[in-house]
Structure 1
Amino acid sequence: MNNALTPESPGPSTASLSHTVLGDRVILVAIVVSAVTAVVLGAKFVESTVAWVAAGLLLALAVLAFVSMQGTLGSRMVLAFVQTSMVALHIQLAQGMTEFHFGVFVTLAILLVYLDWRPIVFAAALFAVHHVLFDRLQAAG
């Protein structure tokens, strides 16, 4: 008989840990794809140095968080920050092209893999602050 109290059945913490580790892997793959995209955009829009440096630093931060905090709230928040920053980098490199703003919605959707509201709200807040801050900076000249 296999019920929730038998030792061979995974407890809630084991199931949730494996789910968050899977989520970390999915987000890390998205970050790697975003880093490659940033480098391609940098080459296309003549911002190669910015693209390589920013994408490299963000990717290094993501890998560090993945290796050192895998499956924790800390890794979810850091990886959400990095993916959000990658989208902001894409928008900057593409000189504000509307098409790259859709990365905001894609990122929020991908973060659903965690089944945790905190990284989603954190990323949404980062996007909102970025939007307002850059709008005001560009309006100021």
Structure 2
Amino acid sequence: MIHPHVDQALRGNARQADRLMILILWAMLVVALALSGMHDTLGWALAVGIPAALLPTLLVMTAGGSRLTRMTNAVALIVMCALHIHQGGGRDELHFGLFVALAFLLCYRDWSVIAVAAGVTALHHLSFNYLQELGYGVRCLVQPGLAIVLVHAGYVVAETVVLCYLALLLRREAVQAAELRVGIAALQGEGGAIDLR
């Protein structure tokens, strides 16, 4: 069982990461607005980008540090990346945003957040590839096809495995650091000096 002070420290870390994600999401909205001139996608930027930035912002304000907020932020980052990819007509260069977003999520020190984002990435690529092939007006790839989706998936899986491992290590270190702070606080007297009695 985690000591309440350790849990409080971990939630503080999550709230700090939440605030960073909000800055990133609003910056991604600015990028979406900038990309809107490429293929006349201002409507998409507004209809998808604003909710993808606004909902997480509201959650951070009302439930910062919670698991729900972390997961919502992860999904919102991938939604923003999908928006950018669509706006760029499926260009490969814009797919790099997905890898950057997955790496950003490491600041949560929570492997499950990264795994959820990777799952949403896979769902996006599979579904939008087929929607694009069927002519529904969305763009995921310059030239849709299952083979390229599988290549992208391979890279996402490779990065996700490494990031999840790193998240486990970082969380363990964060727990140890918080436990150490709790132990030191228990040893300190009222004057802040360590009492070894």
TM normalised by structure 2 equals 0.64
Q: Aligned to 1:52, which of 46, 60, 78?
A: 46
Q: Aligned to 2:116, which of 102, 110, 122?
A: 122
Q: For each residue in 1:101-127, what CA deviation from the matched residue of structure 2 results, as whole angstroms up to 9, or x when unmatched? A: 001100100000000011100000000
Deviation (angstroms), 1:53:
2.3
Deviation (angstroms), 1:12:
0.5
Q: For each residue in 1:37-62, what CA deviation from the matched residue of structure 2 results, as whole angstroms up to 9, or x when unmatched? A: 01111123211122122211211111
- Aligned partners of 2:104 and 2:58: how far apart in 1? 20
- Aligned partners of 1:69 and 1:30: how far apart in 2? 18
- 1:63 maps onto 2:57 in alignment: yes
Which residue pairs with 2:86 in the alignment? Answer: 92
**CA 1:139 to 1:53, structure 2 compared with 1: closer, same or farther past 3 Å?**
closer
Q: Aligned to 2:12, which of 11, 14, 18?
A: 18
Deviation (angstroms), 1:29:
1.1
How many aligned residue pairs are there? 133
Q: For each residue in 1:16-54, what CA deviation from the matched residue of structure 2 results, as whole angstroms up to 9, or x when unmatched? A: 111001110111111011111011111232111221222
Query: What's the C-alpha RMSD, in Å, of the aligned pairs?
Result: 1.5
- 1:132 maps onto 2:131 in alignment: no
Which residue pairs with 1:41 in the alignment? Answer: 35
Bigger shift: residues 86-95 or 54-63:
54-63
SS at match of 1:71: coil
Q: For each residue in 1:44-94, what CA deviation from the matched residue of structure 2 results, as whole angstroms up to 9, or x when unmatched? A: 321112212221121111111111110010100011111110000000111
- Aligned partners of 1:138 and 1:52: how far apart in 2? 21
Which residue pairs with 1:113 in the alignment? Answer: 107
TM normalised by structure 1 equals 0.89
SS at match of 1:43: coil
CA contact (8 A) 2:14 2:65 kept: yes
- Aligned partners of 1:37 and 1:47: how far apart in 2? 12
Runs of 4+ residues over 6 Å off in structure 1: none
Percent of counterpart pairs with the same letter? 32
User: Larger Rg: 1 or 2?
Assistant: 2
